[in-house]
Amino acid sequence: MKRTRRRRATDPNLAVGYVRVSKDEGQVSPDVQRGLLERWAAERGKRLIAVHQDLGVSGATRLDRRPGLVAALADLQVHGAGVLVAIHRDRFARDRHVAAELEFIVTEQRARLVALDGTGENDSPEDVFQRALFDALAQYKRLWTKVRTRQALAHRRAEGRVTGPCAPYGFAAQGKHLVPAESERAAAARAAELAETGASLRAIGRQLSAENFIPRGRAWHTETVRRLLRLSEDRTVTP
């Protein structure tokens, strides 16, 4: 007779906290998030056994590429915790597919995803719908933020203004404005000539060094050469 494997029971009073901050979102700091989680646990009579964090990580990043979240899921299993908690549901994910995968993994461990804002904590049809709606809305906001950021950067470039810590190839920062960098433009023109002959990115980089063109970094790496070629019309070259 085949034995049925019993899943380990979880303790709903044990919780694991999760904190996430990305580079491009205006949001609550890690310390404040951690403090809010600790206060929630104290008010609810929960034992917060650990708080894990991912800093500079997008909400669309795959679960296996978030060491903090991986550690949090491991703690759920090791300690039999019944709750994985964050201050908002979008701290878990800002992509509906990633959110659905996380929900499945946590449910399989007989635990629950909980957000301090109370987003769809129960299993009623209304709560399930609310979670799906919130995940889709979080993804929409993330994608729309990317669109607005690209539009703002394009506008600044069109005005000849600096758009980041490094000026684009072919330009140099002069205060808040961009001015042509003739040395890089000459290197770009030479790189384009070499690309026309079928030279690879590495070969172009070696030739630029041989002809004493000075890169921004230590050497003409393949990605540096690729960016340089964008100053001219698009070309297909081999790495």
Has this prediction a pTM greater than 0.75?
Answer: no
The residues with which 113 forms a beta bridge, in sequence order, are: 84
Neighbours of 31 (CB within 10 A): 9
Q: Which two tokens stand for residue 144?
A: 């729309």
pLDDT per residue as tens digits for the range 36-82: 999 999 999 999 999 999 999 988 899 999 999 999 999 999 999 99
Please state, in angstroms and rounded to a whole number, the distance separating the CA atoms of residues 141 and 63.
20
pLDDT of the residue at 70: 96
Neighbours of 131 (CB within 10 A): 21
Q: What distances in angstroms separate CA 95 from CA 99, 131, 205, one per listed residue?
A: 6, 12, 39
Pairing of the two strands 11-21 and 171-174? unpaired
pLDDT per residue as tens digits for the range 160-169: 454 444 556 6
